[in-house]
């Protein structure tokens, strides 16, 4: 799979099932399956979320979901299929979302992830995210959670 060259596009309703399966098999491995097709379809239809995908030869290589608040965005999900890893797709998906957050005027972007996902932690650290919290057993009492934040613009000061 040549995921390096595959374009990134907004997801359509037809992508929901493949996104859900990739989430189950990667992000949620060893945990109950939370992000099933109906939940992913709601994200795709939402005007408060971006769901992006990259596919190569008709096979989903990776996806990401980010939600937007008044001035803070939340990176809910980001995954790359095992056969498409090590080619920079995760960085490309993240850059797309960071640029979108910047254009939307977000002050910061937060992400929660599995403490045992060291590759994801390195990806976010390389992009400038810093850890601000840790929660023991956050994922069904089985896996610890790390929370990270990226400041998109300097904090406003009042005089």
Query: What integer pLDDT is reported at residue 102 of this predicted model?
Result: 94
**Taking the domains of the chain in order of start, what are their residue ranges?**
8-151
pLDDT score, position 32: 80
| Structure confidence at residue 121 (pLDDT) | 92
Give the pLDDT means over successive 10-residue stretches in the chain (159 positions).
Answer: 72 95 89 89 96 90 94 94 85 95 94 90 94 81 87 66
Question: What is the reported pLDDT for 4?
Answer: 55
Q: How far is CA 24 from CA 50, 151, 156, in A?
A: 19, 29, 39
Q: Residue 109: what pLDDT?
A: 96
Class of domain 8-151: alpha beta
Which long-range contacts does 78-83 make (Cβ < 8 Å, 24+ apart)? 78/111, 78/120, 79/22, 79/23, 79/26, 79/27, 80/3, 80/26, 81/1, 81/3, 81/22, 81/26, 82/26, 83/1
Which pLDDT score is estimated for 91? 94
Return the closest-CA partner of residue 145 out of 135, 132, 153, 158.
135
């Amino acid at each position: 799979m040549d995921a390096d060259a595959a374009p990134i596009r907004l997801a359509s309703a037809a992508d929901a099932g493949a996104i859900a399966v990739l989430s189950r098999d990667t992000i949620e491995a060893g945990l109950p399956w939370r992000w099933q097709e109906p939940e992913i379809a709601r994200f795709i239809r939402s005007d408060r979320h971006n769901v992006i995908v990259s596919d190569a030869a008709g096979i989903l290589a990776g996806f990401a979901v980010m939600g937007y608040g008044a001035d803070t965005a939340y990176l809910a999900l980001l995954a790359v299929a095992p056969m498409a890893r090590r080619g920079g797709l995760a960085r490309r998906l993240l850059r797309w979302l960071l640029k979108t957050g910047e254009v939307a005027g977000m002050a910061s972007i937060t992400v929660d992830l599995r403490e045992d996902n060291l590759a994801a932690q390195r990806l976010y650290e390389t992009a400038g995210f810093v850890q601000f919290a840790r929660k023991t057993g956050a994922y069904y009492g089985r896996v610890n959670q790390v929370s990270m934040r990226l400041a998109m613009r300097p904090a406003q000061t009042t005089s």
